[in-house]
Amino acid sequence: MKFSISREALIKPLNLVAGVVERRQTLPILANVQLVLTGQELALTGTDLEVELIGRVILAEDAIQSVGEITIPAKKLVDICKALPDGSDISFQLDDQKLILKSGRSRFQLSTLPANDFPSVEQAKGGQAFRLKQGDLKRLIERTSFAMAQQDVRYYLNGMLFELTKDQLRMVATDGHRLAMATFAGDIDVDQTTQVIVPRKGVVELARLLINENEEAEVIVGSNHIRVITTEFTFTSKLIDGKFPDYERVLPRGSTKVVLGSRADLRQAFARTAILSNEKYRGIRMLLSSGELRIVANNPEQEEAEETLAVDYQGETLEIGFNVSYLLDVLSAIHGETAKFSLSDANSSALVEEAEADGSNCQYVVMPMRL
């Protein structure tokens, strides 16, 4: 295996792949990145056995002297590339199970492990396949991922539901206290409704990779894996084996009180009152009356914050408590000018949406708090 490549051409796929490689791995080879040179394509692969990522770069024909495959320490290769000056060319040569890198007057000799020992995620069998723009996929993730649970004993909540139906892709995340749901309507040609749960690390990693907004990605949903393929990378993640809660039952129906307010004003008012909320429970009280919303926070030090906002609301008075962090997360995720709160009483969940007509593809449910 002998080839040369520019530092800039290598560092882009290398940075993508290195993000997946585990720092504290049980198998030494999982700290490595696999290099496979076939034809003019150099493929770099990193995995932690849950998520696998393959980055690709095309080399000039005269830059290749011999093809082959090997694995080398990922972090060391990243550090070497970052430390070399811009515009450098790097030559790679495998010599007696050592990989020699040369660039200008610099020379590095890295230990290797055989590529045959590198674990690979099995090919997704069968399943559903569809295409959509990277930007659409990323938006769905960004608008829902904050509601995923972290290290919950209900392991199926530590990830995100991908639901495929005819002409629709829906993502749902919940931690049991709040729920986020975003829906994409488009040319999703599937022959049956499919639900899979993608683990938290896979969701976070995928959002990081989707940077070419208008370029299409192919998504393949198998029984054990989800795979996303673009011209620059192939991403594969194992799925969580479990049943996601029936989210339709959580969505509040028949709310009797509707509040419309400026999203930016609400967000700023909640952020200010949050300063004096209880640091552990983050509770705030919303006191609604005709045309007005008062937001009040107290803490154990007997301190208090109060904000008063003009809102579009006509109805009887209502006092209801919420975790202010959850409300701030929702108001950061939606993008419209006006936020719409649908409420029933002090013990029922709130449904938060964008008030604009085109914002109906995102819905957020926040459970109330007793204060």
Q: What are the structural domains of the chain?
A: 2-117 (3.10.150.10), 128-248 (3.10.150.10), 252-366 (3.10.150.10)
Quote the pLDDT of residue 178. 98
DSSP character string of 245-296: --GGGTS--S-SEEEEEEHHHHHHHHHHHHTTS-TTT-EEEEEEETTEEEEE
Other CB atoms within 10 A of residue 256 CB: 12
350: alpha, beta or left? (left if phi > 0; alpha if psi -120 to 50): beta
User: What b/e readout covers 209-228, taking b as 16+ CB neighbours within 10 angstroms?
Assistant: bbeeeeeebebbbbeebbbb
With bands split at pLDDT 50, 70 and 90, how would you rate the model's confidence at 360?
low
Q: Model confidence over 273-322: pLDDT tens digits?
A: 999 999 999 999 999 999 999 999 999 999 999 999 999 999 999 999 99
Q: What is the pLDDT of residues 40-88, one digit of tens each?
A: 999 999 999 999 999 999 999 999 999 999 999 999 999 999 999 999 9
Taking a C-beta distance cutoff of 8 angstroms, is the pair 240, 198 a contact? yes
Percentage, residues of the chain above pLDDT 90: 90
Tokens of 276: 């004096």
What's at 137, amino acid-wise?
A: L
pLDDT in tens, 246-264: 999 999 998 999 999 999 9
Q: Tens digits of per-residue pLDDT, 190-234?
A: 888 999 999 999 999 999 999 999 999 999 999 899 999 999 999
Question: What are the CA-CA distances from residue 247 to residues 32, 179, 346 (Å)?
Answer: 40, 8, 21
Compute how many other C-beta atoms are within 10 angstroms of the C-beta atom of residue 351: 21
Mean pLDDT in residue range 95-117: 96
In the block, tokens 């080398």 appear at: 72
What is the rounded distance in angstroms from the CA atom of residue 89 to the CA atom of residue 74? 19
Q: Which residue has the higher pLDDT, 290 or 121?
A: 290
Tell me: the pLDDT tens digits for 136-164? 999 999 999 999 999 999 999 999 999 99
Q: Quote the percentage of the chain above a pLDDT of 70.
A: 98
pTM for the model: 0.92
Measured between alpha carbons, how far is 69 from 50 in angstroms, rounded to an integer?
22
